[in-house]
Protein backbone atom coordinates (compact mmCIF):
# COMPACT_ATOMS: atom_id res chain seq x y z
CA UNK A 1 0.00 0.00 0.00
CA UNK A 2 1.30 3.41 -0.92
CA UNK A 3 0.02 6.65 0.56
CA UNK A 4 1.24 10.20 0.98
CA UNK A 5 -0.01 13.51 2.24
CA UNK A 6 -0.30 16.05 -0.57
CA UNK A 7 -1.58 19.34 0.82
CA UNK A 8 -3.95 21.13 3.22
CA UNK A 9 -6.03 24.07 2.13
CA UNK A 10 -9.09 26.14 2.91
CA UNK A 11 -10.52 25.74 -0.61
CA UNK A 12 -10.29 23.55 -3.74
CA UNK A 13 -7.94 26.06 -5.40
CA UNK A 14 -5.24 24.92 -2.97
CA UNK A 15 -5.47 21.24 -3.99
CA UNK A 16 -3.08 19.65 -6.45
CA UNK A 17 -3.71 17.66 -9.60
CA UNK A 18 -2.42 14.25 -8.59
CA UNK A 19 -3.50 10.72 -9.53
CA UNK A 20 -6.06 9.64 -12.15
CA UNK A 21 -9.16 10.49 -10.10
CA UNK A 22 -10.20 12.28 -6.92
CA UNK A 23 -12.76 11.34 -4.29
CA UNK A 24 -14.08 13.72 -1.60
CA UNK A 25 -15.03 12.36 1.84
CA UNK A 26 -17.77 14.22 3.70
CA UNK A 27 -19.76 13.60 6.85
CA UNK A 28 -20.70 14.87 10.26
CA UNK A 29 -17.98 15.77 12.66
CA UNK A 30 -16.79 12.70 14.58
CA UNK A 31 -18.34 10.26 12.07
CA UNK A 32 -14.93 8.69 11.48
CA UNK A 33 -13.70 10.27 8.22
CA UNK A 34 -10.09 10.59 9.20
CA UNK A 35 -10.01 7.10 10.73
CA UNK A 36 -11.54 5.66 7.57
CA UNK A 37 -8.98 7.38 5.36
CA UNK A 38 -6.19 5.90 7.47
CA UNK A 39 -7.80 2.45 7.16
CA UNK A 40 -8.22 2.71 3.40
CA UNK A 41 -4.63 3.84 2.90
CA UNK A 42 -3.26 1.36 5.43
CA UNK A 43 -1.73 4.12 7.52
CA UNK A 44 -2.03 4.76 11.23
CA UNK A 45 -1.33 8.42 11.64
CA UNK A 46 -1.14 10.00 8.19
CA UNK A 47 -4.58 11.50 8.76
CA UNK A 48 -5.02 13.07 12.17
CA UNK A 49 -7.82 11.51 14.20
CA UNK A 50 -9.37 14.06 16.50
CA UNK A 51 -9.71 13.61 20.22
CA UNK A 52 -12.19 16.47 20.23
CA UNK A 53 -14.73 16.57 17.41
CA UNK A 54 -14.88 19.35 14.88
CA UNK A 55 -11.16 19.76 14.53
CA UNK A 56 -10.61 19.12 10.84
CA UNK A 57 -11.14 22.66 9.53
CA UNK A 58 -9.24 22.39 6.28
CA UNK A 59 -9.41 20.12 3.26
CA UNK A 60 -6.63 17.58 3.47
CA UNK A 61 -5.56 15.89 0.26
CA UNK A 62 -3.82 12.52 0.12
CA UNK A 63 -2.58 10.38 -2.76
CA UNK A 64 -3.22 6.67 -2.50
CA UNK A 65 -1.56 3.99 -4.63
CA UNK A 66 -0.31 6.74 -6.96
CA UNK A 67 -3.79 6.53 -8.46
CA UNK A 68 -6.53 8.14 -6.42
CA UNK A 69 -6.51 11.46 -4.60
CA UNK A 70 -8.58 11.27 -1.41
CA UNK A 71 -9.79 14.52 0.13
CA UNK A 72 -10.83 14.75 3.79
CA UNK A 73 -13.38 17.58 3.82
CA UNK A 74 -14.33 19.54 6.96
CA UNK A 75 -16.92 17.83 9.16
CA UNK A 76 -20.22 19.50 9.93
CA UNK A 77 -22.90 19.48 12.59
CA UNK A 78 -20.75 19.74 15.68
CA UNK A 79 -23.21 21.21 18.18
CA UNK A 80 -20.85 23.68 19.83
CA UNK A 81 -19.81 25.14 16.48
CA UNK A 82 -23.37 26.30 15.73
CA UNK A 83 -24.99 27.63 12.62
CA UNK A 84 -22.04 29.55 11.27
CA UNK A 85 -20.17 26.28 11.05
CA UNK A 86 -22.96 24.76 8.97
CA UNK A 87 -23.15 27.56 6.45
CA UNK A 88 -19.35 27.58 6.20
CA UNK A 89 -19.36 23.86 5.57
CA UNK A 90 -22.01 24.20 2.86
CA UNK A 91 -19.97 26.92 1.18
CA UNK A 92 -16.88 24.73 1.34
CA UNK A 93 -18.79 21.77 -0.10
CA UNK A 94 -20.32 23.84 -2.91
CA UNK A 95 -16.92 25.31 -3.75
CA UNK A 96 -15.38 21.85 -3.78
CA UNK A 97 -18.10 20.33 -5.97
CA UNK A 98 -18.11 23.41 -8.18
CA UNK A 99 -14.41 22.96 -8.91
CA UNK A 100 -15.27 19.65 -10.64
CA UNK A 101 -12.24 18.00 -9.13
CA UNK A 102 -14.13 15.05 -7.66
CA UNK A 103 -14.94 12.02 -9.79
CA UNK A 104 -17.18 10.98 -6.91
CA UNK A 105 -18.04 11.61 -3.29
CA UNK A 106 -18.22 9.34 -0.27
CA UNK A 107 -20.84 10.39 2.30
CA UNK A 108 -20.22 8.93 5.75
CA UNK A 109 -23.01 8.33 8.25
CA UNK A 110 -22.75 6.73 11.66
CA UNK A 111 -24.41 3.31 11.49
CA UNK A 112 -25.93 3.80 14.95
CA UNK A 113 -28.01 6.70 13.70
CA UNK A 114 -30.70 4.79 11.85
CA UNK A 115 -32.53 7.99 11.10
CA UNK A 116 -29.89 10.18 9.50
CA UNK A 117 -29.87 13.88 10.30
CA UNK A 118 -31.35 16.59 8.10
CA UNK A 119 -27.78 17.83 7.73
CA UNK A 120 -26.80 14.59 6.00
CA UNK A 121 -29.86 14.77 3.79
CA UNK A 122 -28.97 18.37 2.91
CA UNK A 123 -25.45 17.34 1.97
CA UNK A 124 -26.74 14.45 -0.10
CA UNK A 125 -28.98 16.87 -1.97
CA UNK A 126 -26.16 19.31 -2.68
CA UNK A 127 -24.04 16.45 -4.01
CA UNK A 128 -26.83 15.04 -6.18
CA UNK A 129 -27.57 18.51 -7.60
CA UNK A 130 -24.12 18.47 -9.15
CA UNK A 131 -24.67 14.96 -10.58
CA UNK A 132 -21.57 13.73 -8.79
CA UNK A 133 -21.77 9.97 -8.13
CA UNK A 134 -21.96 9.28 -4.40
CA UNK A 135 -21.36 6.23 -2.24
CA UNK A 136 -22.94 6.18 1.21
CA UNK A 137 -20.71 4.52 3.76
CA UNK A 138 -22.09 3.51 7.17
CA UNK A 139 -19.25 3.91 9.67
CA UNK A 140 -18.46 2.31 13.06
CA UNK A 141 -20.19 -0.95 12.08
CA UNK A 142 -18.43 -2.61 15.03
CA UNK A 143 -20.82 -0.66 17.26
CA UNK A 144 -23.97 -2.58 16.30
CA UNK A 145 -24.57 -6.30 16.82
CA UNK A 146 -23.97 -8.36 13.67
CA UNK A 147 -27.58 -9.49 13.49
CA UNK A 148 -28.75 -5.84 13.47
CA UNK A 149 -26.28 -4.60 10.86
CA UNK A 150 -28.49 -5.05 7.81
CA UNK A 151 -31.46 -3.47 9.56
CA UNK A 152 -29.43 -0.34 10.35
CA UNK A 153 -28.06 -0.17 6.82
CA UNK A 154 -31.53 -0.45 5.27
CA UNK A 155 -32.89 2.26 7.59
CA UNK A 156 -30.09 4.62 6.59
CA UNK A 157 -30.62 3.88 2.89
CA UNK A 158 -34.30 4.55 3.22
CA UNK A 159 -33.84 7.82 5.13
CA UNK A 160 -31.36 9.03 2.49
CA UNK A 161 -33.70 7.86 -0.24
CA UNK A 162 -31.21 5.58 -1.94
CA UNK A 163 -31.85 2.07 -3.27
CA UNK A 164 -31.34 -0.89 -0.91
CA UNK A 165 -27.87 -2.35 -1.31
CA UNK A 166 -26.35 0.93 -2.48
CA UNK A 167 -24.47 1.67 0.72
CA UNK A 168 -21.54 -0.05 2.36
CA UNK A 169 -21.05 -0.82 6.06
CA UNK A 170 -17.49 -0.32 7.27
CA UNK A 171 -15.47 -0.29 10.45
CA UNK A 172 -12.05 1.24 10.81
CA UNK A 173 -11.77 -0.65 14.06
CA UNK A 174 -12.57 -4.19 12.87
CA UNK A 175 -11.67 -3.68 9.20
CA UNK A 176 -15.13 -4.69 8.00
CA UNK A 177 -15.81 -3.47 4.45
CA UNK A 178 -12.40 -1.87 3.96
CA UNK A 179 -11.22 -4.29 1.25
CA UNK A 180 -14.47 -3.78 -0.67
CA UNK A 181 -14.23 0.00 -0.30
CA UNK A 182 -10.63 0.00 -1.59
CA UNK A 183 -11.71 -2.06 -4.59
CA UNK A 184 -14.49 0.38 -5.38
CA UNK A 185 -12.26 3.43 -5.00
CA UNK A 186 -9.76 2.03 -7.49
CA UNK A 187 -12.52 1.89 -10.08
CA UNK A 188 -14.17 5.18 -9.09
CA UNK A 189 -14.28 6.39 -12.68
CA UNK A 190 -16.87 3.71 -13.39
CA UNK A 191 -19.26 4.89 -10.63
CA UNK A 192 -22.55 6.30 -11.78
N1 LIG B 1 -15.80 2.11 17.44
C2 LIG B 1 -15.30 2.82 16.41
N3 LIG B 1 -14.85 4.07 16.63
C4 LIG B 1 -14.36 4.76 15.57
C5 LIG B 1 -14.31 4.20 14.26
N6 LIG B 1 -13.80 5.14 13.43
C7 LIG B 1 -13.54 6.22 14.19
N8 LIG B 1 -13.86 6.01 15.48
C9 LIG B 1 -13.70 6.98 16.61
O10 LIG B 1 -14.53 8.11 16.38
C11 LIG B 1 -13.87 9.34 16.78
C12 LIG B 1 -13.80 10.30 15.62
O13 LIG B 1 -12.99 9.76 14.59
P14 LIG B 1 -12.36 10.67 13.45
O15 LIG B 1 -11.79 9.73 12.45
O16 LIG B 1 -11.45 11.70 14.00
O17 LIG B 1 -13.68 11.38 12.88
P18 LIG B 1 -13.80 12.60 11.87
O19 LIG B 1 -15.04 12.38 11.11
O20 LIG B 1 -12.55 12.73 11.07
O21 LIG B 1 -13.97 13.83 12.86
P22 LIG B 1 -13.68 15.40 12.57
O23 LIG B 1 -12.39 15.49 11.82
O24 LIG B 1 -13.62 16.00 13.93
O25 LIG B 1 -14.84 15.91 11.79
C26 LIG B 1 -12.49 8.90 17.30
O27 LIG B 1 -12.58 8.81 18.69
C28 LIG B 1 -12.28 7.54 16.66
O29 LIG B 1 -11.44 6.71 17.43
C30 LIG B 1 -14.79 2.85 14.10
O31 LIG B 1 -14.79 2.25 13.00
N32 LIG B 1 -15.28 2.22 15.20
MG1 LIG C 1 -11.23 14.30 10.78
Q: H or E stretch including 191?
A: none
* pLDDT at 16 > cutoff 80: yes
Is 3-186 assigned to CATH 3.40.50.300?
A: yes
Out of 25, 26, 30, give the residue to mutate to test ligand 1, the one with the largest number of ligand atoms within 8 Å of its CB.
30
Q: Is the pTM of this model over 0.85?
A: yes
Kindly report the backbone phi and psi dihedral angles of residue 123, in degrees, each rounded to the nearest multiple of 5, phi listed first: -65, -45
pLDDT confidence of residue 56 = 57
Whether 75 lines ligand 1, by a CB cut-off of 6 Å, is yes
pLDDT (mean) for 160-175: 95
What are the pLDDT digits (tens) for 113-146? 877 888 899 899 999 999 999 999 999 999 999 9
Out of 8, 31, 32, 47, give the residue to mutate to test ligand 1, the one with the largest number of ligand atoms within 8 Å of its CB.
32
State the Cα–Cα distance between residues 15 and 167, nearest whole angstrom. 28
- Domain spans of the chain, in order of start: 3-186
For residues 77 and 55, the answer to whether their CB atoms sit within 8 Å is no
CA–centroid distance, residue 32 to ligand 2 (Å): 7
State the Cα–Cα distance between residues 176 and 188, nearest whole angstrom. 20
pLDDT (mean) for 8-16: 95
Quick one: which of 161, 153, 135, 125 has its CA closest to 24? 135
Amino acid sequence: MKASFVVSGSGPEHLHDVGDAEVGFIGRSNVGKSSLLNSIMGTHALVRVSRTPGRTRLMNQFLWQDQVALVDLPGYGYAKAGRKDLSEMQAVLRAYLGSHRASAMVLLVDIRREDVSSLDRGVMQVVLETSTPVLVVCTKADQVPKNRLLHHVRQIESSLDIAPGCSLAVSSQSGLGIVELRKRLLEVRKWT
